[in-house]
Structure 1
């Protein structure tokens, strides 16, 4: 099977390239439940849902033989079981006890802590106890890439497979493998319209955060403190793509780009995409359900949520209106949302295609008029 097809299957299942069989099984089950839910029929016909389920089965069947077995995985049994094997297995089975006495537990002695109350011998003390912070939107100034490890970076995207300006252009350079997954996801869609109002949650890709260093020098250029095959690990970033507009910038139907959508359309799609993002995050869930630590996820799950004022740059949507939708859709969520006021130079706001070629400036109309006026004055002089 072609490598491009395999990459598209990984993108469809939203799995990193170093996934295990357990990851594959979990995603297959989650997507099957999503596609067979009543909500799926709100956005697609039965035929389209059946087609998606068939594609999901194809993706699972294609990836199953190539994903290596983990340490705890059991190899598939190729030989058929004999009647003797079946009889032996039957002898080892026990009939489960279902009497009410089996479920009765004696009452706890007086003054003993209840199951909900941590005992004095608990692993936690007052200094270590962490209260789940709950949801709130906090806006700060800084660099969006100075996020904690495993943070989720949220941004709004078009359905054309182009990260050409603003935070998207910066992410394209910072996490190129995640960008390739986004591109494959867009190309796989039959129509760009099918992606509107959805969310693509891309896990950290090893190629984006694990970098080989040929040598790390310490003063003397002739000396290297690490061997040639040493690996330096960067922060792992989850990337959440909110599909809010079919196109970007100005309309150019020569490349099937209808341009950015109207503000009202983007806001509607933002609501749907945020709803799906919250569902995906809650499906992944915390690593444990102790109310004091449930917001702290384990090492393989997404952590804090960060974003810029998405949709307010190239898409031109007032941030106040987007924030209202964000607060409505994530009300009651277990984790806060940090918004970083983007601090980019005007040169970084120029839209580019996949080869870095300029697609036109995304500066504000007022700035464009100012430049045009200054240009006319210089010609007159």
Structure 2
């Protein structure tokens, strides 16, 4: 009985196997080649052209810089020109280095005093309201004054306090350069915070510090070029146009 049972079970199993084999022979699934063993497709003329173009572009990009995409510098850009400083476009910022005593008595400061008398009054009031030592390394940004604008002088005036005094009491070169960097950083911050609806133009200035403060222009320029522009102003880029005065160009 046990043997018969085994035989019966085996027969039924073989029958099931035969049915399975019969059904599999009717519809035999196709085996896909592994991805690594599949034959590569023949490239069409269009794909070959695109491949060549891509390779050519990659080769060009590694050997030639993209000249039509300007890169905004994160630092101040200094550009030098020879022209009349006071004939700058409206709303330009005319910058000059000042002492902290409220005196525009000599050098280019005397020209500012003559051309912007209302702006000078604002400057004197600012110096009287603050201690001289506390102004060092700061900047006073004077908006265009109505009476000055009537005479055609619609300019902002930026006074960089780079030395407490003048003459024999002026600061050392190192202290003047340090104050210049701090004052310029303060000016850039103020420009970003102007919210009175007026448009602030480019920054224009003479070669500051080299006159009465006796600091070589190359050293001041190096300080200015090392100043990082705040993120708020980077999208437009900040260019400082250094105007060489006509009398300086003749020397």
1:246 aligns with 2:246: no
Residues 249-286 of structure 1, C-alpha deviations (whole Å, 9 max, x = no match): 23xxxxxxxx211111101111110110111112227x
Residues 18-50 of structure 1, C-alpha deviations (whole Å, 9 max, x = no match): xxxxxxxxxxxxxxxxxxxxxxxxxxxxxxxxx
Question: Quick check: 2:142–2:156 contact (8 Å CA) kept in 1?
Answer: yes
Q: Distance in 1 between matches of 2:223 and 2:180?
A: 8
Question: Quick check: 1:133–1:336 contact (8 Å CA) kept in 2?
Answer: no
Tell me which residue corresponds to 2:172: 262
Q: Distance in 2 between matches of 1:316 and 1:330?
A: 25
Tell me which residue corresponds to 2:240: 337
Task: Choose which of 310, 313, 316 in structure 1 pairs with 2:214.
Answer: 316
1:198 aligns with 2:198: no
Q: Distance in 1 between matches of 2:133 and 2:149?
A: 32
Q: Distance in 2 between matches of 1:329 and 1:342?
A: 24
Superposition RMSD on alpha carbons, in Å?
2.2
Question: Quick check: 1:132–1:335 contact (8 Å CA) kept in 2?
Answer: no
Higher relative contact order structure (alpha carbons within 8 Å, sequence separation ≥ 6): 2
Instruction: Give how far 1:335 is off.
Output: 2.5
Structure 1 residues 243 and 205, CA gap change in structure 2 (3 angstroms): same
Q: Distance in 1 between matches of 2:192 and 2:220?
A: 21
**Count, aligned residues:** 172
Tell me which residue corresponds to 1:54: none
1:157 aligns with 2:55: no
Tell me which residue corresponds to 2:87: 146
Q: Distance in 1 between matches of 2:72 and 2:118?
A: 32
Instruction: Give how far 1:343 is off.
Output: 2.4
Residues 191-232 of structure 1, C-alpha deviations (whole Å, 9 max, x = no match): 210111111000000111114xxxxxxxxxxxxxxxxxxxxx
Tell me which residue corresponds to 1:274: 184
Tell me which residue corresponds to 1:100: none
Q: Which runs of 5+ in 2 are unaligned?
A: 1-69
Which of the pair has more CA radius of gyration? Answer: 2
Question: Quick check: 2:107–2:212 contact (8 Å CA) kept in 1?
Answer: yes
Secondary structure of the residue that 1:322 maps to in structure 2? helix
Question: Quick check: 2:188–2:229 contact (8 Å CA) kept in 1?
Answer: no
Question: Quick check: 1:148–1:235 contact (8 Å CA) kept in 2?
Answer: no
Q: Distance in 2 between matches of 1:301 and 1:242?
A: 21
Equivalent residue runs for 1:1-381 within 5 Å: 135-189=76-130, 191-211=131-151, 234-250=152-168, 259-284=169-194, 300-331=198-229, 333=234, 334-344=237-247
Question: Quick check: 2:80–2:244 contact (8 Å CA) kept in 1?
Answer: yes
Q: Distance in 2 between matches of 1:177 and 1:145?
A: 15
Q: Distance in 1 between matches of 2:80 and 2:228?
A: 16
Q: Distance in 1 between matches of 2:112 and 2:238?
A: 23
Tell me which residue corresponds to 1:55: none
Structure 1 residues 269 and 169, CA gap change in structure 2 (3 angstroms): same
Instruction: Give how far 1:321 is off.
Output: 1.1
Question: What TM-score, normalized to structure 2?
Answer: 0.64
Residues 34-84 of structure 1, C-alpha deviations (whole Å, 9 max, x = no match): xxxxxxxxxxxxxxxxxxxxxxxxxxxxxxxxxxxxxxxxxxxxxxxxxxx
Normalized per residue, the structure richer in helix is 2
Instruction: Give how far 1:235 is off.
Output: 3.8
Tell me which residue corresponds to 1:27: none
Structure 1 stretches of at least 4 aligned residues deviating more than 6 Å after TM superposition = none
Tell me which residue corresponds to 1:60: none
